[in-house]
């Protein structure tokens, strides 16, 4: 199962534009509020430096792509309908939205940092909208959804309250809340040991906030930074949300670059700090102007368009994923068919050799004996904690790979 990242936010903030840029799709974008009615699913990539250069080999990637030394690891991106106030009560496309958002491993909260949308999400004069209020509104909606699950299931939780963490996790299984999330949330919200039947509404709300934070890591994408009014708001967002990761982005700039790249007009690797025009004659005046604008006002000011950076930060910082390269043949760094460094897996920090084996194949895990660290030939026990960029050969009694 690839990692899933959901795009949430108010209407007209640029979620679909971000999605189209990151997946090179053609989902409908418009200036009308609530353009996206159904979630769009697509494949994007987390990008990291490939290990093949270090080993001085040419690789034959199979579950991923290697381009100019960069490994592109597939992830699933979900573009969601815009949220509105009252979504948790089923307003707008609320229910459907939250059900899909809940299945994501992490969320990117897309914000119109330029202040070009009003409170209702209509396009307006840049600088007049209030992105900070927008963020707070969306956060409130998410929390209300968690709160509804607690309050709406009071009887059910109460009946099973002698094992409270299990009881709460049980009614929230659909939004991906696990028992260990509940354990931490109870401590964080000072509710450890309190009888569930005596929870006030305030208690439940604190618990809901904490569960939302713990179970659904979220990054703020300050979008539309190509519009001048965004710079000031971007600073304000950073200051207000100090404990969250905030990435400035121009989804529109990234879309322009990726489309130009796919037509062979420019050379550009997603996330790069520069691009190179390949066919000057193939560009019309408008395109030339757009590319110059991106070079000067987006890359020049913010280094990158931020779309790829946001995905990488979500995968590697927020979800703390490590990249691990399993190989069957430790001396040739290959699978049994001779493909060099064929696969890379994303595993959360703390994962062991056994976790890796299980991801590859249940049989491999069953017969697991030990693993070999290909860099130094050392034997690693099944409970060895893998590090980022490990190249590992698994030795199993039921050898599959
Ligand atoms: N200047 C600028 N405009 C953008 C950017 N991203 C999106 N837009 C514009 O913002 C408007 C809304 O974009 P969409 O991608 O449809 O927004 P959405 O969040 O998917 O909207 P809903 O589907 O209605 O929720 C469109 O006119 C886009 O062209 C950006 O980075 N910069
Ligand atoms: Mg949309």
Q: What is the mean pLDDT of residues 98-127?
A: 92
Question: Which of 141-150, 301-310, 333-342 is predicted with the least confidence, judged by mean pLDDT?
Answer: 141-150
Question: Which of 76-85, 113-122, 304-313, 321-330 is predicted with the least confidence, judged by mean pLDDT?
Answer: 76-85
User: What is the reported pLDDT for 87?
Assistant: 66
SS3 per-residue string spanning the chain: CCCEEEEECECCCCHHHHHHHHHCCCCCCCCCCCCCCCCEEEEEEEEEECCHHHHCCCCCCCCCEEECCEEEEEEEEEECCCECCCHHHCCCCHHHHHHHHHCCCEEEEEEECCCCECCCCCECCCCCCCHHHHHHHHHHHHHHHHHHHHHCCHHHHHHCHHHHHHHHHHHCHHHCCCHHHHHHHHHHCCCCCCCHHHCCHHHHHHHHHHHHHHHCCEEEEEECCCCCCHHHHHHHHHHHCCCCCEEECCHHHHHHHHHHHHCCCEECCCCCCCCEECCHHHCCHHHHHHHHHHHHHHHHHHCCCCHHHHHHHHHHHHCCEEEEEEECECCCCECCCCCECCCCEEEECCCEHHHHHHHHCHHHHHCEEEEEECCCCEEECCCCECCCCEEEEEEECCCCC
Inform me whether the pLDDT recorded for 90 exceeds 70.
no
Nearest CA to ligand 1 atom 9: 14
Question: Which of 84-98, 277-291, 305-319 is predicted with the least confidence, judged by mean pLDDT?
Answer: 84-98
Do the Cβ atoms of 188 and 214 come closer than 8 Å? yes
- Do 216 and 354 share a domain, yes or no? no
**CATH code, 142:** 1.10.8.470
Q: Does 56 reside within a domain?
A: no
- Do 235 and 327 share a domain, yes or no? no
Please work out whether the CB of residue 129 comes within 6 Å of at least one atom of ligand 1.
no
Q: Residue 35 CA: which ligand is closest? A: 1
Lookup: tokens for 52: 């093949």
- Do 163 and 14 share a domain, yes or no? yes
Domain-terminating residue out of 240, 270, 287: 240
- Do 115 and 22 share a domain, yes or no? yes
Please work out whether the CB of residue 92 comes within 6 Å of at least one atom of ligand 1.
no
C-alpha of residue 180 to centroid of ligand 1, in Å: 37
Domain-terminating residue out of 214, 240, 266: 240
- Count of CA atoms in the C-beta half-sphere (13 A) of 176: 17
- Do 335 and 226 share a domain, yes or no? no
Q: Does 48 reside within a domain?
A: no
Residues across the chain: 401
- Do 124 and 18 share a domain, yes or no? yes
Please work out whether the CB of residue 250 comes within 6 Å of at least one atom of ligand 1.
yes
**Cα(257)–Cα(264) distance, integer angstroms:** 11
pLDDT single digits (tens) 122-169: 999 999 999 999 999 999 988 988 999 999 999 999 999 999 999 999
Q: What is the mean pLDDT of residues 11-16?
A: 96
CB atoms closer than 10 angstroms to residue 201: 9
Domain of residue 328, residue span? 323-396
C-alpha of residue 165 to centroid of ligand 1, in Å: 41
Which pTM does this prediction carry? 0.94
User: What is the reported pLDDT for 83?
Assistant: 82
Confidence of residue 94 (pLDDT cuts 50, 70, 90): low
Domain count, the chain: 2
**CATH code, 384:** 3.10.20.30
Please work out whether the CB of residue 226 comes within 6 Å of at least one atom of ligand 1.
yes
Do the Cβ atoms of 21 and 254 come closer than 8 Å? yes
Nearest CA to ligand 1 atom 16: 29
- Do 329 and 201 share a domain, yes or no? no
C-alpha of residue 187 to centroid of ligand 1, in Å: 40
User: What is the reported pLDDT for 34?
Assistant: 87
**Cα(146)–Cα(101) distance, integer angstroms:** 12
CB-based contacts of 285, cutoff 8 Å, min separation 6: none
Task: Return the ligand 1 atom nearest residue 34 CA.
Answer: 24
Please work out whether the CB of residue 13 comes within 6 Å of at least one atom of ligand 1.
yes
- Do 19 and 140 share a domain, yes or no? yes
Q: Does 85 reside within a domain?
A: yes
Do the Cβ atoms of 268 and 261 come closer than 8 Å? yes
CA 10 to chain CA centroid, nearest Å: 18
- Do 91 and 218 share a domain, yes or no? yes
Q: Does 392 reside within a domain?
A: yes
Inform me whether the pLDDT recorded for 265 exceeds 50.
yes
Confidence of residue 400 (pLDDT cuts 50, 70, 90): very low
Q: Does 312 reside within a domain?
A: no
Q: Does 93 reside within a domain?
A: yes
- Do 127 and 233 share a domain, yes or no? yes
User: What is the reported pLDDT for 311?
Assistant: 98
Q: Does 179 reside within a domain?
A: yes
Burial class of 98 by CB neighbour count within 10 A (0 to 12, 13 to 18, 19+) = buried
- Do 127 and 25 share a domain, yes or no? yes
266-252-107 Cα angle (round to 5): 115
Q: Residue 18 CA: which ligand is closest? A: 1
pLDDT single digits (tens) 307-333: 999 999 999 999 999 999 999 999 999
Q: Does 387 reside within a domain?
A: yes
Rounded to the nearest 10 degrees, how much is the dihedral formed by the CA atoms of 207, 212, 214, 216? 170
Domain-terminating residue out of 240, 269, 287: 240
Nearest CA to ligand 1 atom 10: 14
- Do 228 and 330 share a domain, yes or no? no
Inform me whether the pLDDT recorded for 91 exceeds 90.
no
User: What is the reported pLDDT for 175?
Assistant: 85
User: What is the reported pLDDT for 362?
Assistant: 87
C-alpha of residue 331 to centroid of ligand 1, in Å: 50
Nearest CA to ligand 1 atom 1: 224
Mean pLDDT, the chain, whole residue set: 93
**Cα(135)–Cα(146) distance, integer angstroms:** 17
């Amino acid at each position: 199962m690839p990692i899933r990242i959901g795009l949430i936010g108010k209407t007209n903030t640029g979620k679909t534009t971000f999605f189209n840029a990151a997946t090179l799709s053609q989902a409908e974008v418009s200036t009308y509020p609530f353009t996206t009615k159904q979630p769009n699913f697509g494949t994007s990539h987390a990008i990291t430096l490939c290990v093949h250069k270090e080993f001085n080999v040419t690789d034959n990637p199979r579950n991923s792509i290697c381009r100019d030394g960069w490994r592109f690891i597939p992830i699933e991106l979900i573009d969601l309908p815009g949220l509105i106030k009252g979504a948790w009560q089923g307003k707008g496309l609320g229910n459907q939205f939250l059900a899909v958002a809940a299945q994501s491993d992490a969320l990117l909260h897309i914000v119109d940092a330029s202040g070009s949308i009003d409170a209702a999400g209509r396009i307006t004069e840049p600088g007049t909208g209030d992105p900070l209020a927008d963020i707070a509104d969306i956060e409130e909606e998410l929390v209300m959804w968690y709160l509804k699950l607690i309050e709406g299931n009071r009887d059910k939780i109460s009946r099973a309250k002698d094992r409270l963490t299990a009881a709460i996790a049980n009614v929230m299984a659909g939004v991906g809340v696990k028992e260990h999330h509940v354990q931490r949330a109870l401590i964080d919200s000072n509710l450890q040991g309190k009888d569930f039947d005596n929870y006030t509404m305030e208690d439940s709300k604190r618990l809901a906030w904490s569960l939302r934070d713990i179970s659904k890591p979220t990054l703020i994408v300050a979008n539309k930074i190509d519009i001048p009014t965004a710079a000031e708001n971007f600073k304000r967002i950073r200051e207000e949300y100090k404990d969250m990761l905030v990435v400035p982005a121009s989804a529109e700039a990234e879309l322009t670059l990726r489309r130009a790249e796919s037509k062979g007009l420019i050379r550009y690797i997603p996330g790069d700090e520069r691009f190179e025009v390949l066919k000057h004659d193939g560009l019309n005046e408008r395109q030339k102007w757009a590319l110059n604008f991106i070079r000067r006002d987006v890359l020049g000011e913010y280094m990158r368009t931020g779309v790829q950076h946001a995905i990488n930060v979500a995968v590697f910082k927020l979800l703390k994923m490590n990249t691990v390269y399993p190989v069957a043949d430790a001396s040739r760094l290959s699978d049994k068919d001779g493909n060099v460094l064929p696969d890379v897996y994303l595993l959360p920090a703390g994962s062991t050799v056994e976790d890796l084996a299980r991801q590859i194949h249940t049989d491999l895990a069953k017969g697991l004996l030990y693993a070999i660290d290909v860099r130094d030939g050392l034997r690693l026990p099944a409970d060895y904690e893998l590090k980022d960029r490990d190249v590992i050969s698994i030795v199993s009694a039921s050898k599959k790979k």
